[in-house]
A and B are shown apart, each in its own frame.
Chain A
């Protein structure tokens, strides 16, 4: 019987050390190259992924922050209707620009994950994953492992994804987008522009799909072609 209690004690100590070591080392962590602000801004002439036809009469540019809960709400609640009513019908084209806010620890990292997925033609799938599993933004935990899971679910090849993230390949591009947002006086996320003009300045709530439908229909009705 005494031997049993010694065994319990030894096992408890070994397991305790194991848990401590697991917590101490953690899993994958956000590579600094992808998570932090880059030293140089890179203009690679990339101006954001777009949804919709090239010849759509209205272009909406959205400056978004992946960690921002309002952006997630907009993406998951309003965008499906907007896609159906305006983008699929050829009335509008949507351009996604990154505007990682400094108050958000992992928003730049998330933007980078989306860009790395985009390099494999999976930007929109990754964006869906990041916004529809948005609990990561509330935990404060390092989301590196989760983002790999999400990338995998988005159909991204993880080997290329890891290399892209470790190298911080698109950090300069994201910073360029952020500085572009500063120049256009983006003061929060999401901020929208329609054909270059800032939208909903006086609106005290998140615009919805009806707001965009009214706006796009109005722009089309007043355009010279009509």
Chain B
């Protein structure tokens, strides 16, 4: 359960990072906040900032939202013992990690500029992927009052 909670919190942070970049790409707000090293505008205005007709950050919003919804769904008492949720998060985060790796490659070798927000997002999705692996490998939490009674032993 702790793993799933950690994933939910990471997905929430990732969602807002992607939301900021998406809203900026849509023209909201001024120039992007990027720190002294710069690079964000170069990346955001490059030809690779749009993928299949949508700003790249839009896919981040959708991806993190999907992970968040699935993880919150998996935290319901009835779902805690079902490992299928962990598999689903692992699949979603694997797609996210691959997409982030592709974007980081483009930043480093084609655009020659690094956007620290994009790096932040790549780190978050990688952490989600790692935690989802742990979540899948750890034994499922069982909500079984009867079994708990047996483990605790008979009442005195």
Contact = CB atoms under 8 A, between A and B. Distances in A.
A23 B24 contact: yes
A26 B33 CA distance: 6
Interface stretch (B13-21, B91-99, B121-129): B13-21
A146 B34 CA distance: 10
Contact of B20 (A12, A23, A145): A23
A5 B45 CA distance: 37
A142 B31 contact: yes
Interface in A17-33: 18-19, 22-29
Interface stretch (B36-44, B101-109, B132-140, B148-156): B36-44
Nearest to A140: B27
Given A136-B45, A148-B38, A149-B42, A22 B12 contact: no
Contacts of B113: 149, 153
B41 A146 contact: yes
B31 A144 contact: yes
Contacts of A45: none
B22 to A, nearest CB: 10
A26 B41 contact: no
Contacts of B27: 139-141
B28 interface: yes
A167 interface: no
B41 A23 contact: no
Nearest to B76: A1
B58 to A, nearest CB: 15
B145 interface: no
30 contacts: A1-B75, A4-B5, A4-B75, A7-B9, A8-B72, A11-B9, A11-B12, A15-B13, A16-B16, A22-B29, A22-B33, A23-B20, A25-B30, A26-B29, A26-B30, A26-B32, A26-B33, A27-B31, A27-B32, A133-B45, A135-B46, A139-B45, A141-B24, A142-B31, A143-B41, A144-B31, A145-B31, A145-B32, A146-B31, A153-B112
Given A15-B16, A149-B42, A153-B113, 13 more contacts: A8-B8, A11-B13, A12-B12, A16-B16, A25-B30, A27-B31, A27-B32, A28-B31, A141-B24, A141-B45, A145-B32, A145-B40, A152-B38
Interface of A: 1, 4, 7-8, 11-12, 15-16, 18-19, 22-29, 133, 135-136, 139-146, 148-150, 152-153
Interface of B: 5, 8-9, 12-13, 16, 19-20, 23-24, 27-34, 38-42, 45-47, 49, 72, 75, 112-113
